[in-house]
Chains A and B, each alone.
Chain A
Amino acid sequence: DGGITQSPKYLFRKEGQNVTLSCEQNLNHDAMYWYRQDPGQGLRLIYYSQIVNDFQKGDIAEGYSVSREKKESFPLTVTSAQKNPTAFYLCASTPSRWSSQGSNTEAFFGQGTRLTVV
C-alpha cells in the first residue's frame, strides 16, 4: 500500500533535549512538507522540500531543522531552541510543487506525531 508514514505517534521531550520526528513516503513524491497544528488554529508550515538535498523554511521554522538526503524521507528535528514545542506535527507529500500542479493533484498527509514537553 502506498502512503506516508510518521513515527512515533506519541513523543515526549525533556527540557533542553532535541528530538527527531520521522516521515517516510513510498509514493515517489518529489515534494514533502512539515506542518504544526495547535488547538483552534490552522496548520502552519514549518519546512518544505521540493527535491532531494534541498529544503526551504516555512512560516515558523525557528527552533526546527530538517534534512532531505533521500526522496522517501524527510525527518524533522525539534531543537531545544523551540520554546513551545508541544503540538501535533503533520507531514505531507505531493507529486511536485503545489504551484505547478493541476487542480486534481492529491496531497497526502501522515497520521501525525503528538509531541509533549515533560
Chain B
Amino acid sequence: KNQVEQSPQSLIILEGKNCTLQCNYTVSPFSNLRWYKQDTGRGPVSLTIMTFSENTKSNGRYTATLDADTKQSSLHITASQLSDSASYICVVSGGGDYKLSFGAGTTVTVRA
C-alpha cells in the first residue's frame, strides 16, 4: 500500500528561527514529490515539485530535499515569518494513473 508519513505532526517555532519537516514514503514506482502549503480553511498551494533525479529545490525561504534511495524528503523553512503558520503537506505521485498519495501534514505555528 502506498503511504506517506510526515513528522512531526505539529511544531511551534519562534519568528526568525529555522525548522525542518520530514516526509517518508513507500510509493512505488515513484514519479515526483510535491510539497504544498495549506493555510487554515484554504486550498493547498504548491511550494516545490521534485522528480527522481532532483536532490534539492528552493522556493524563496523554502528548500526541499529528496533522497530517492531512502525514500525520504524534507522541507526546510529558513528565517520563519508569522505568515509561515500553516499546514505543510507532502504529496507523492507514481503509484498509478490518478494516484496521488497525501501525507497528513505538519502544522507549523510561528510565534512572535
**A60 → chain B closest CB, angstroms:** 13
Q: On chain B, which size bracket covers the interface?
A: 20 to 34
Q: Which of A4, A97, A104 contacts B98 (CB 8 A)?
A: A97
Number of A-B contacts (CB under 8 A): 63
Among the stretches A61-69, A70-78, A79-87, A108-116, the one at the interface with B is: A108-116
Query: How many whole Å from A64's CB to the nearest CB in chain B?
Result: 16
Which residues of A have CB within 8 Å of B49?
103-106
Contact flag A41-B41 (CB < 8 Å), given A56-B98, A98-B97, A103-B51: no
| Chain A residues with CB below 8 A from B43, complex form | 4, 6, 90, 92, 109-112
Total A residues in contact with B, Cβ cutoff 8 Å = 30
A28 to B31, CA, bound (A): 24
Show the binding face of A for B, using Cβ within 8 Å.
4, 6, 33, 35, 40-45, 48, 50, 56, 58, 88, 90, 92, 97-99, 103-107, 109-112, 114
Q: Which residue numbers of B lie inside 8 Å of A, CB to CB?
A: 4, 9, 31-32, 34, 36, 41-46, 49-51, 54, 89, 93, 96-105
